Chain A
Amino acid sequence: MQSVRRSLLAAVLAVGLPWLSGGAQAAPVKVGVIVPLSGMTSQIGVKVRAAYTLAQEEINAAGGINGEPLQFVFADHQGRPDVGAREAERLVGQEKVQALTGSYESGVTLAVAQVAERRKVPYLVPYSAANRITESGLKYTFRTRPPSRVWVDAMFQYLATAAQQSGKPIEKIAILSEDGAYGQGTAEDIKKAAAKYNKQIVATETFHGGAQDLTAQINKIRASGADAVLAASYLNDTMKALQTMNILQYKRPYLTLGTGEVDPGFFQLGELAENQVGTTAWLADVKLPGAAELAAKVKDKLKLDINDDIAYAYAVTYLYKEAAEVEKSSAPDIVRKVLASHTFTSERANLVPRQGGPLKFDENGQANTVILVGQAQGGSWVTVWPPDLAGAPNKTGQWVPGNR
């Protein structure tokens, strides 16, 4: 009997003491993180959760935010806008978070942004690419990831550089896009950019995501005489397209809007992978102070190969820290004001590639971040564009632009 009582007492103490001592500490700064932890894109959510947690641990070990510990509260949106909105409501209403971050699919991000707007809580978006996220007049949404328009701009500017380098002009463009919202939105952006850069669209082909056969589409593109293919395709579709182009001996630059083609899985293509290019938001060799160190830390502590999502999650955490420390307050309205006007100077908040100085949000809440072009060289992805951030020179070996 005695021993039972003793162990009961021990159990009560074990459960109760940390709670008691926790109450004595400074109240934490709570930030809600809404990411896909189940569903189609859950592997991304699990990775970025690890990245957020890594940054949180570092910040707390170094004294927290304004002397208060940072506490992330994670929620799963399952890739569904309705779940995302519900979770955002819960985080703000019940968990009393001071800010929100996360989401992945643009539809979910927009749903969460509506809640943030209504609840007057700043929402930091490190992922989604849909243009309208920062073009709907939202006052509380701040996006560090460039919108799809900037991705497409990077494609055209890179092609101009590659054409100059190879001495073969790239004037005729073919569009290959999947038939969902992502593909159709991107195709529209490509058409607009083509007009802006004075290029001719000679073919517009669509396919159903996950198609095992793109021969018909590539054949029509080949017959159109396009000098380059700009695409909205997922990793496996990209690989299928490149293989088909190779079989048809149609060797042209193929660039898709970053959906993970800049990925280790791409090297399943073997020799064909070498010198292929793709757009991405981040690569480990990008010329930014602290980038290599971050990649090594992610590998060492999280046992993960770093990617753009991880880097953006890490950087946005430090961005929030800086925003809350400017006015020494994490009150939602004060942080929102700081986000709208402050120029971020800390190295870790600036771990994302930018144009025109340190990170800053414009009047729409869009950061001045830029997109990189990566190239597969010797079994890994390296940055080849823009020149000031590139870790390696661009090679034109695999594809020969305009070699008709």
Chain B
Amino acid sequence: MAYTVIAQAVIDGILNAGIFGLAAVGLTLLFGVMRVVNFAHGELLMVGMYITFMLYSAMGLHPYLSALVVVPALALLGIVLYRCLLKPLAAAPETAQLLVTLGVSMVLQNVVLAVFGADFRSINVPVGSAAFRLGEMVFPATRLYGFLVGMGACIGLYLFLRHTDVGVVTRAAVQDRQAAALSGINVEKVLVISAAIAIGLLGLAAAWLTPMVYLSPTVGHTYLLPSFIIVILGGLGSVRGAIIGSVVYGLSQSLGAVLVPGSLGILVPLIMFVTLLLMRPSGLFRGTV
């Protein structure tokens, strides 16, 4: 096989990691802070994409600019989700919260299905067909920007958690919620901020994804399974792990598609996942960041 095909696959894999990372760090943060496995993560991303789509088709707003609306909107949705559904169940067994998020995902999917129908929708902006070239290699503009924004935000979140006061407080709440509360930390505030950040990041992902994919009420599924794999791969609750995990996943996916014949390529990330788990059962990293 030509080395250009493999080199191109490496580029694609790394570029895809940015968006995967955005979805995964939110998931890992929610788990770290609240111990909630959010099954509605994919559907919340899908809702963000439909908002982006609506802003574009109704007002002609460029999808990247629509992040200014979509991110706060989803952050708000995250807070509502936490306050109205997750918080009342905080004392219940973890399965109850898991089932609630599963229910939310079904509701969101069917509401969008009822409003927009099952037809595929897409938006057509110049950036969607633009690309940068380096010799034989092609860097599709949407994927390159998605990578820069996604990785930028993930690393930003990592530095935020690592070096700011709010970050330290958040990590404290993750390590021991009761002890944090006893030492004067407003844990409730930490949880609200975490929910807003985790879901708000999906808004960012939605804005950068919309020009490169087809929207349907089930589009969230395309990203839910990879997000879970990345989060578990990187170590549950670890932001740093999610960033590295998304690169590993992206590369295994794109190289698998090129090196393994037919649709068997889909298996490569899953085999890689199982193998890594056998070697490191708790993921690549431990801890909050």
Contacts and interface: CB of A to CB of B under 8 A. Distances in A.
Contacts of B119: 265
Interface in B1-56: 1-2, 4-5, 8-9, 12, 16
B213 interface: yes
A219 B262 contact: no
Contacts of A270: 124
A216 B4 CA distance: 12
Interface in B108-134: 119-122, 124, 128-131
Contacts, number: 65
B222 interface: yes
B167 interface: no
A240 B263 contact: no
Contacts of B61: none
B148 interface: no
B266 A240 contact: no
Given A212-B222, A243-B128, A223 B214 contact: no
A86 interface: no
B140 A236 contact: no
A243 B8 CA distance: 17
A179 B214 contact: no
A268 B8 CA distance: 27
Interface residues of A, number: 26
Contact of A243 (B5, B129, B257): B129
B254 interface: yes
Contacts of A268: 121-122, 124
A220 B258 contact: yes
Contact of B138 (A179, A208, A235, A247): A247
A265 B120 contact: yes
Contacts of A240: 214
B129 A272 contact: yes
A179 B266 CA distance: 12
Contacts of B265: 216
B64 to A, nearest CB: 18
A272 B128 CA distance: 11
Question: In this complex, which of A216, A220, A265 has the most chain B Cβ atoms within 10 angstroms of its Cβ?
Answer: A216
Given A212-B214, A215-B254, A223-B5, A207 B263 contact: yes
Given A207-B263, A223-B2, A216 B258 contact: yes
Contact of B262 (A206, A215, A223, A272): A206
A374 B284 CA distance: 53
A315 B12 CA distance: 48
Contacts of B4: 223
A206 B140 contact: no
Interface in B136-150: 138, 140
Contact of B124 (A179, A208, A269): A269
Contacts of A247: 129-131, 138, 140
B57 to A, nearest CB: 11
Contacts of A220: 1, 5, 258
A157 interface: no
14 contacts: A179-B262, A212-B219, A213-B16, A215-B8, A215-B12, A216-B254, A219-B9, A220-B5, A236-B214, A240-B214, A243-B128, A246-B129, A249-B131, A268-B121
Q: Which 8 A-B pairs have the closest CB atoms?
A: A216-B257, A270-B124, A179-B263, A236-B120, A206-B262, A212-B213, A247-B131, A216-B258
Interface of B: 1-2, 4-5, 8-9, 12, 16, 119-122, 124, 128-131, 138, 140, 212-214, 216, 219, 222, 254, 257-258, 262-263, 265-266
